[in-house]
């Protein structure tokens, strides 16, 4: 689930869970047009471009609709993400709910992860089973459209298995301690807002931008004093080549801080683990 834009300028479609919340709040609202219910029992409500334009001109109607959405969420209702013009994306994401291999992760997301991120993590899990890069891009674009950098971060974190390798172990470490949940949620927020332990190289990033991000995160990790590993991820040939070009520069700049460098990869994929140490 993503945070609803207060201006409503980005909302075109919501996927609502029929098992929770009060969908009649939407069905009885003339602004929305209900469409098909998919096999996971999600009701898709469409906001037409005409009504969207009308809402943008009428602040009172915008506030009224925002109030309806907030009430729906407050009553326990869930939605996957605003603005999914591609219905196939919604069907792909919804199918994750019926994937038995994902049930443990889904239960953790439902029970522990903040509500506004539920749909983002479910969407990210759908990316893992996407059939091709085009499908991956479409789902990720929906996530970025609805939640900006947060959506992109959650997509990358999930695809790189950090839900299992970092977030769930972090919760297990804290949950029995006094104020453990609050401590975990604070750490979780830092992770999804700015994952200092990972760099995900994107197609639109220049070499200089990637290098600056790596430098910034290495500096933060060395100052933090409790975590000394940076993972650099790249998917597709272009991004893999960017990383390979930058590695000698990083190795040279931080030769006194790099204890170990491990490269893993296959065609069109690379992951570089840099184990850091404090220089003497």
Domains and CATH numbers, the chain: 13-159 (no CATH), 196-280 (3.30.110.20)
Q: Is the pLDDT of residue 19 over 50?
A: no
List the structure tokens of 120. Answer: 């983002």
Question: pLDDT tens for residues 86-139?
Answer: 455 556 666 676 678 888 998 899 889 987 788 788 888 988 888 788 888 888
pLDDT of residue 89: 59
Phi, psi of 132 (to 5 degrees): -160, 170
Lowest mean pLDDT among 27-41, 126-140, 143-157, 255-269: 27-41
Q: How many C-beta atoms surround the C-beta of residue 265 within 10 A?
A: 13
Find tokens 């729906």 and name the residue: 72
pLDDT tens digit sequence for 157-190? 999 999 999 999 999 999 889 999 999 999 999 9
Show the tokens assigned to 87.
């219905």
- Residue 17's pLDDT is 45
CA angle 246, 252, 255 (to 5 degrees): 125
Contact 1, 114 (CB under 8 A): no
pLDDT at residue 13 in the model:
42
d(CA 63, CA 49): 18
**Which pTM was predicted?**
0.72
DSSP letters, the chain, are: --PPPTT-TT-SEEEEETTSS-THHHHT-TTEEEEEE-TT-EEEEEE-HHHHHHHHH-HHHHHHHHHHHHHHHHTT--BS-S----HHHHHHHHHGGG-GGGHHHHHHHHHTS-GGGHHHHHHHHHHHT-SSHHHHHHHHHHHHHHHHHHHHHHHHHHHTTHIIIIIHHHHHHHTTSTTHHHHHHHHHHHHHH--TTEEE--TT--HHHHHHHHHHHHHHHHHHSS--EEEEEEESHHHHHHHHHHHHHHHHHTTTTEEEEEEEEETTEEEEEEEE----
Q: Residue 199 — pLDDT band, cuts 50, 70, 90? A: very high
Q: Using the 8-state DSSP alphabet, how is residue 177 labeled? A: S
pLDDT of 81 > 60? The answer is no
Q: Write out the H or E segment, with its range, that includes residue 71.
A: helix 59-74
Q: Nearest 5 degrees, angle CA 74-CA 78-CA 82? A: 110
């Amino acid at each position: 689930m993503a945070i609803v834009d207060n201006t409503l300028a980005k909302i075109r479609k919501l996927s609502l869970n029929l098992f929770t919340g009060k969908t009649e709040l939407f069905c009885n609202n003339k602004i929305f047009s209900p469409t098909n219910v998919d096999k996971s029992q999600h009701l898709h409500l469409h906001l037409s471009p005409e009504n969207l334009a009308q809402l943008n001109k009428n602040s009172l109607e915008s506030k009224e609709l925002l109030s309806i959405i907030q009430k729906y969420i407050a009553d326990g209702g869930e939605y996957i993400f605003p603005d999914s013009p591609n219905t196939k994306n919604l069907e792909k994401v919804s199918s994750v709910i019926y994937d038995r291999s994902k049930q443990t992760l889904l239960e953790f997301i439902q029970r522990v992860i903040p509500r506004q991120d539920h749909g983002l993590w479910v969407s990210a899990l759908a990316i893992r089973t996407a059939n091709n890069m085009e499908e991956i891009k479409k789902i990720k674009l929906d996530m970025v459209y609805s939640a900006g950098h947060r959506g992109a971060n959650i997509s990358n974190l999930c695809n790189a298995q950090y839900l299992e390798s970092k977030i769930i172990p972090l919760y297990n470490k804290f949950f029995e301690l006094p104020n453990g949940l609050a401590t975990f949620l604070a750490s979780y927020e830092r992770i999804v807002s700015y994952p200092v332990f990972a760099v995900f190289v994107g197609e639109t990033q220049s070499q200089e931008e990637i290098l600056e991000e790596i430098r910034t995160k290495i500096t933060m990790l060395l100052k933090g004093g409790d975590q000394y590993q940076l993972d650099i991820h790249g998917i597709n040939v272009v991004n893999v080549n960017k990383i390979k070009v930058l590695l000698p520069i990083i190795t040279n700049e931080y030769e006194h801080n790099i204890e170990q460098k491990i490269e893993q990869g296959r065609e069109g994929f690379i992951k570089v683990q840099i184990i850091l140490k404090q220089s003497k």
